[in-house]
């Protein structure tokens, strides 16, 4: 009698497991179907996420107003390429990822994370933090010096170009005035020669 109860429990478990797998597979198929039917909506969502993500990462990486604006314009031009790649990735991966996430939500398993490992990692992080900060400070100082150098070169180039332009403009005006004076002199000479035959 005891072995019959075990076999009934095992068959019930396997039927439940089969039912779970079938239902999860159904969820994945429904999500794939939903993504194909709502392609426009998904692409609009991806566009929104791209706008937010691109703005955030550009603001973090480029603090200069000029560079920030330029990179944002370039990012807006690359949005169609992102949309195409993201749509392919979404079709291939998201139904399974969403299915897995939903399954975790309904399985009600609590994952227990071992606390000592987190403490050890925090201690390592705290020990490495001063060295990391020193490295980052050196990088920031180096980048600032490079930016100052580039700004100086830019200002010198603009100044020399502007000065050359002004000097060239001045020389052209002088040459124009000399030509006008020569023409006026020649005109006066011809007029006097015409008047005094």
pLDDT of residue 96: 92
DSSP codes, 139-166:
HHHHHHHHHHHHHHHHHHHHHHHHHHHH
Which residue's structure tokens are 């011809």? 190
Q: Which residues, other chains included, contact 91 with Cβ-Cβ below 8 Å and sequence gap of 6+?
A: 32, 35, 36
pLDDT digits (tens, 9 = 90+) for 122-160: 555 566 777 777 888 888 888 888 777 777 776 776 776
Nearest to 47 by CA among 88, 89, 76: 76
Q: What angle separates helix 79-107 from helix 65-77, to the nearest 10 degrees?
A: 80
Q: State how far the Cα of 61 lies from the Cα of 143, in Å rounded to an integer.
A: 12
Asked whether the whole model's pTM tops 0.75, one would answer no
Predicted confidence (pLDDT) per residue in 76-128, tens digit: 888 888 888 988 999 899 899 999 998 888 888 765 555 555 554 555 556 67
Upper half-sphere CA count for residue 48 (Cβ side, 13 Å): 6
């Amino acid at each position: 009698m005891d072995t019959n109860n075990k076999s009934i429990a095992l068959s019930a478990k396997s039927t439940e497991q089969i039912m779970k797998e079938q239902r999860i597979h159904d969820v994945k198929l429904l999500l794939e179907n939903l993504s194909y039917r709502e392609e426009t909506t998904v692409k609009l969502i991806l566009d929104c996420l791209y706008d937010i993500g691109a703005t955030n990462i550009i603001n973090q990486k480029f603090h200069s107003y000029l560079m920030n604006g330029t990179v944002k314009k370039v990012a807006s031009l690359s949005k169609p390429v992102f949309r195409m790649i993201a749509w392919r990735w979404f079709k291939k991966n998201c139904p399974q990822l969403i299915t897995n996430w939903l399954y975790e939500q309904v399985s009600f398993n609590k994952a227990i994370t071992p606390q000592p490992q987190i403490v050890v990692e925090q201690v390592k992080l705290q020990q490495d933090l001063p060295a990391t900060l020193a490295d980052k400070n050196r990088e920031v100082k180096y980048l600032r010096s490079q930016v100052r150098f580039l700004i100086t070169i830019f200002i010198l180039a603009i100044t020399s170009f502007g000065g050359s332009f002004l000097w060239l403009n001045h020389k052209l005006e002088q040459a124009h005035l000399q030509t006008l004076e020569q023409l006026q002199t020649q005109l006066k000479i011809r007029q006097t020669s015409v008047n005094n035959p």
